[in-house]
């Protein structure tokens, strides 16, 4: 069978303007009402202690505002220790390509195959790719091009959306507003997404933060996030099947999810071997859907080796985050990953982080194979885990254990557990 990934054309690394792409995409869609104010995503948090300390330490860095495209050598704050930045193994990671179209087309053998692929990948490194996802190539291309167009704006324009300390939304250049060292060679734009609001939250974010000219790009990302949410619920069904969990347990849990979308832009780098585009980290969220362009740079740590994940045209990379690791009672793994940069080409990636509603209690099902095993982690809310990883702990392979200890001492103490680091 020819998969959708094989049918779909590669996403070209084009520089066509997002406005043009957005206009052609949105022509066919009915206009939606706009609210000209930036919504306050409920995932935002008040400024934390490490944030304030880091902001002070990083003041010089922030004041000089790195324009990464103009640096002839990498400035000292971008140099990473060799252990983090050590070269990858030549062997690509074997990331299964799972056709999620089988959840819609009633192909029972295909469904069993997909569930088995997911089970094998998630029990080892937690990464797989999906095709047959139904996200149009035009929409994916428009979303990637929208990122290029935003990041190519003059710094002063991008700064209109700059991240407010203590929140997850907004523009950052190398996270220099938060950290003084181990800065990532990238710029990011992040914003919250949830559906069911009176007006489209992503359109509101773009128009409210950057002005009416960005309404069309906002519509692209609104639609992209809606598709990502639908895809993440489909993947939840596949995860239920693969774990033998009762139908609907995970899907229903994420019906009212409130997610985070992050556009990553990695400029070419004069000394790529000394720095990283995204530092080693695990995602504290539930599930990540990554769309990468055709440049490549994502790497996963497996058995002590960094292994590249080659972009597959038309496919999206999925990885399990800590929150789903807890929901699966530790059966499925959240794994360390990073992004490297290169000397020749810019790279773009779009990460959609599926998060539960903040007050939902994260608890694995108490029946079936997942429920029969002793509980690995206590009940917690996403709001608590978010607070822990934002304020106290750089998410790594031990996040859930450290978080469990922190919860047992009472989160009210709020003392830093380990220095946060920039990814």
Ligand X SMILES: O=C(O)CCC(=O)C(=O)O
Binding site for ligand X (CB under 6 A): 262, 264, 278, 290, 292, 297-298, 337, 339, 349, 351, 423
Least distance (Å) between residue 279 CB and ligand X: 9
Distances 380 to 276, 364, 365, 411 between C-alpha atoms, Å: 32, 11, 14, 11
Q: Is 192 helix (H, G, I), strand (E, B) or coil?
A: strand
Count CA atoms closer than 13 A to 309's CA, side-chain side: 28
Residue 67 Cβ, how far from ligand X at the closest point, in Å?
20
The answer to whether 347 is a known catalytic residue is yes
* DSSP character at residue 188: E
Nearest CA-CA partner of 202 in 226, 224, 220, 218: 218
Task: Say which of 178, 258, 338, 347 is annotated catalytic.
Answer: 347
Paired tokens of 320:
């399990």
How many CB atoms sit inside 10 A of residue 349's CB? 24
Cβ 150 to ligand X shortest distance, Å: 16
Contact assessment for residue 50 and residue 416, using Cβ atoms and an 8 Å cutoff = yes
Based on CB atoms, which residue is closest to ligand X, 292 or 389?
292
The closest alpha carbon to 268, from 72, 30, 409, belongs to 72
Least distance (Å) from ligand X to the CB of residue 349?
A: 3
Instruction: Say whether 360 sits in a helix, a strand or coil.
Output: coil
Of the pair 328, 423, the CB lying nearest ligand X is at: 423
User: Between residues 328 and 349, which has the closer beta carbon with respect to ligand X?
Assistant: 349
Tokens of 287: 């599930």
Minimum Å gap between C-beta 207 and ligand X is 24
**Residue 402 to residues 255, 409, 421, 422, Cα–Cα distance (Å):** 28, 11, 16, 19
Q: Are 394 and 179 in contact (CB under 8 A)?
A: no
Structure tokens at 121: 């990948």
Residues known to be catalytic? 347
């Amino acid at each position: 069978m020819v998969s959708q990934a094989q049918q779909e054309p590669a996403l070209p690394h084009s520089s066509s303007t997002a406005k043009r792409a957005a206009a052609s995409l949105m022509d066919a869609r009915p206009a939606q009402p706009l609210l000209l104010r930036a919504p306050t995503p409920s995932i935002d948090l008040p400024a934390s202690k490490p944030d304030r300390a880091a902001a002070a330490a990083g003041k010089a860095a922030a004041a000089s505002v790195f324009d990464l495209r103009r640096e002839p050598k990498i400035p000292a704050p971008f140099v990473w220790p060799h252990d983090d930045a050590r070269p990858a193994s030549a062997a690509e990671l074997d990331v299964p390509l799972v056709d999620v179209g089988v959840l819609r087309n009633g192909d029972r053998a295909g469904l069993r195959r997909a569930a088995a692929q997911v089970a094998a990948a998630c029990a080892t490194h937690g990464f797989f790719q999906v095709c047959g996802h139904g996200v149009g190539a035009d929409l994916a291309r428009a979303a990637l091009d929208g990122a290029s167009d935003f990041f190519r704006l003059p710094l002063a324009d991008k700064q209109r959306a700059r991240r407010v300390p203590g929140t997850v939304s907004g523009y950052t250049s190398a996270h220099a507003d938060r950290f003084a060292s181990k800065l990532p060679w990238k710029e990011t734009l992040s914003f919250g997404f949830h559906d069911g609001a009176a007006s489209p939250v992503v359109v509101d974010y773009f128009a409210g933060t950057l002005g009416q000219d960005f309404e069309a790009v906002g519509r692209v990302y609104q639609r992209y996030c809606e598709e990502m949410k639908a895809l993440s619920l489909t993947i939840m069904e596949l995860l239920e099947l693969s774990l033998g969990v009762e139908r609907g347990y995970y899907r229903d849990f994420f019906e009212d999810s409130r997610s985070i979308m992050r556009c990553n832009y990695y400029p070419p780098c004069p000394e790529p071997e000394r720095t990283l585009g995204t530092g080693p980290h695990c995602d504290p969220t539930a599930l990540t859907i990554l769309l990468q362009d055709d440049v490549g740079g994502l790497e996963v740590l497996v058995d002590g080796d960094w292994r590249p994940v080659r972009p597959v045209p038309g496919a999206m990379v999925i990885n399990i985050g800590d929150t789903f690791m807890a929901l699966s009672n530790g059966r499925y793994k959240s794994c360390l990953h990073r992004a490297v940069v290169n000397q020749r080409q810019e790279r773009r990636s779009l990460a959609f982080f599926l998060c539960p509603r903040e007050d939902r209690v994260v608890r694995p099902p108490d029946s079936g194979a997942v429920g029969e095993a002793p509980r690995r982690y206590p009940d917690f809310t996403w709001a608590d885990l978010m607070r822990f990883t934002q304020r106290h702990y750089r998410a790594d392979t031990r996040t859930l254990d450290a978080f469990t200890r922190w919860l047992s001492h009472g989160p009210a103490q709020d003392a830093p557990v380990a220095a946060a680091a920039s990814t």
